[in-house]
Amino acid sequence: MIKSRQNGFTLIEILIAILILGTVLTTVYAAYTGTLRIVKDTGYEDDIYSMARVTMKRMTEDLESICKYKESFKIISEKRAINEKEFTEISFLSSAHLNFTDGNSSGLAFINYFVVEDSEKEGYVLVRKDVLYKGEEDEEIERSGGFILCNKLQSLKYIFFDSKGEEHETWDSDSEAQKGKAPALVSIHLEFTNPDDENMPYRFMTKVFLPVAGD
């Protein structure tokens, strides 16, 4: 009688196959998660660059449109602390009034740029408030209402240059030294949070020349 032979896999062969399969799955998973991380990071950076571009453009147009009221400019900046972080806020008279209700964009406006805490704890929010100017001598800055320009903000500061090229951290057209004057140039510095490295924020800077200002 001829004894039939039964072919099959040995235990060692099965273990080797499982090891190869595990290696392949690990490689595929690493590539998949790496691709997702790249897509996520790219999307975050795109959002940051888009917000920075829109913010800089809006602030540039507003500042370039500053104008006098009764032969005097009105532009005031002040430093304000929020959760132990310091931000510079700015208010000024400008002809760049935006009315989203009826589309009317004419008129002299008192524009405020101020920072508030983000409810989602992802940095801070920059708000632009635009109110038609009624001619009050002491216009109050109310940190409510307005429209959000950008979020995920980490730092905002301005550097003001007078007509002589001298640098100032703040500007106050109501003060004795800068009475009724506007700076000749404003340098705007924005920093946005970087979730991968908080010590390396996304930095943006632009300079706005104010042709109507100067002595």
Per-residue pLDDT tens for 97-114?
A: 887 665 555 678 889 999
Burial of 51 (0-12, 13-18, 19+ CB in 10 A): buried
φ and ψ of 19, to 5 deg: -65, -45
175 vs 210: CA distance, rounded Å: 20
User: What per-residue confidence (pLDDT) applies to 10?
Assistant: 79
pLDDT grade for 159, boundaries at 50, 70 and 90: very high
User: What per-residue confidence (pLDDT) applies to 186?
Assistant: 95
- Name beta bridge partners: 28: none
pLDDT grade for 176, boundaries at 50, 70 and 90: confident
114 vs 142: CA distance, rounded Å: 9
How many percent of the chain have pLDDT more than 90? 38
